[in-house]
Structure 1
Amino acid sequence: MSRKTQDKLSTNIHRTEIFVETIHHDGLCAEFSVMYPISTGPASSFIWAAIIATLLYYMFYVFENTSLSVTVLCAVLLFSFVYCHFIKVHKESLLVIASSGIQYMTTYRTGRQLSLFIPIDCVQDVVINEGITMHSVIYYLVVLMKDPQNGKAKSLLPIFMKTSPRINTLREIYQGIQGILWSRKHSFSQTTIS
């Protein structure tokens, strides 16, 4: 049984609109997603296509060289594909399952997805960390990972770095994650006491 608890419009640290969605599947599982809204649609694509076509027509008219125009067109198309497929992130999501672990997934504009699963034995905690740059302080969510054999801290995995939500959004996500992880620890301690 899944129920959506939040779906709100917010802004990130760069003042760009983002959607924040929280889906609770049951008491011990939730998915937190931060995504950019779908682009403005065919109008913006048409404008870019018109600009590129005008530039190509101008190049052909001035230089009277079709091979140069075709080369530039191919370069522009290749650059736009590489940009959308490898750089432009559409959505970042974090699936927290108290009994299994945490799955972090990044979805790019072309639909390509990268996912990383962290077993619950390797999760030490999830915290909000701050980074200080020359001109600002940024906050980001971090999964503290540990070595399951000796329990020592192993590494940090920053979450939601491409969508960069503001601190108030990070707090809401943090509280949801801690609620799930705390309920797991609480239920685990209750079974060991009994």
Structure 2
Amino acid sequence: MTCTDRIIEHDNVNGVGLMLLIDKRSGSPNSRLFTISYKNKENRRSWPKTSLFMAVLVNLVALFYTRINLTAISIIFIVLSFLLFFWITHSVQSESLLVIPTVGIQSSVKYVYGREDNFIPWSSVDDVVINEVIKLHRVLYYLTVLVKPSGHANAEQTETLKLIPLFKYTKPRLLMLETIYSELQGLLTETRDTTAIGSGDQG
């Protein structure tokens, strides 16, 4: 069971409307579920549909202006099938982040068909930061999880930390990322304080 705590609506870096849902899990009061989805499905699918339509149109024109034979038809059929398969399997519907303190963080990407999950144990989470990336003429921001090397948590090995960017397909703006960041930092700080108090009681 989940109950929606907050809903934030804002455009992403490409101007497409996004909606952020922040849910509290009833079974675990401290856990959070962050889900970013597209407000307008037509806007989200306009680019893939346009590309698919243009590919079909170009191939049909090529059929009329070239010698039609079995080889040409086979090649065009393969290309169209590949484009259709790519659109079905790589068209992102939403991205979500489930955070359960002391257990782990699970990021999920939901496609038109199927989903992809990535789980990070809580003991491997070193920190969460907002990373600034310069791409072509734009400055983009990514919420990034810093993951410790397996079995190591020493300060000397911070240079081997692994960076795992979140919400890299929906590309939310800084406003949404800062909201999620503040929630995650609160959960991380609370867990660390609890652990520090517990270890300090041991003599």
Partner of 1:99: 102
Percent same amino acid among aligned pairs? 26
Aligned residues: 191
Give the Cα separation in 2 of the matches to 1:54 and 1:143.
43
Q: Choose from 154, 162, 167 the match for 1:155.
A: 162
Kindly report structure 1 stretches of 4+ aligned residues shifted beyond 4 Å.
44-71
CA RMSD of aligned residues (A): 3.2
Pairing 1:97-176 to 2, within 5 Å after superposition = 97-111=100-114, 113-147=115-149, 148-151=151-154, 152-153=157-158, 154-176=161-183
Give the Cα separation in 1 of the matches to 2:68 and 2:184.
59
Partner of 1:35: 37
Give the Cα separation in 1 of the matches to 2:152 and 2:69.
64
1:79 paired with 2:83, answer: yes
1:178 paired with 2:188, answer: no
**More off after superposition, 178-187 vs 69-78:** 69-78
The CA deviation string for residues 14-62 of structure 1, in whole angstroms up to 9 with x for no partner, is 1112221111114321111112246339xx8999999888888877777
Partner of 1:12: 12
Post-superposition offset of 1:161: 1.0
Which runs of 5 or more residues in structure 1 are unaligned? Answer: none
Post-superposition offset of 1:70: 6.9
Task: Determine if contact 2:36/2:94 at 8 Å carries over to the other structure.
Answer: yes
What TM-score comes out, normalization by structure 1 length?
0.79
Cα 1:142–1:55 shift into 2, 3 Å: closer
What TM-score comes out, normalization by structure 2 length?
0.76
Give the Cα separation in 1 of the matches to 2:123 and 2:24.
22
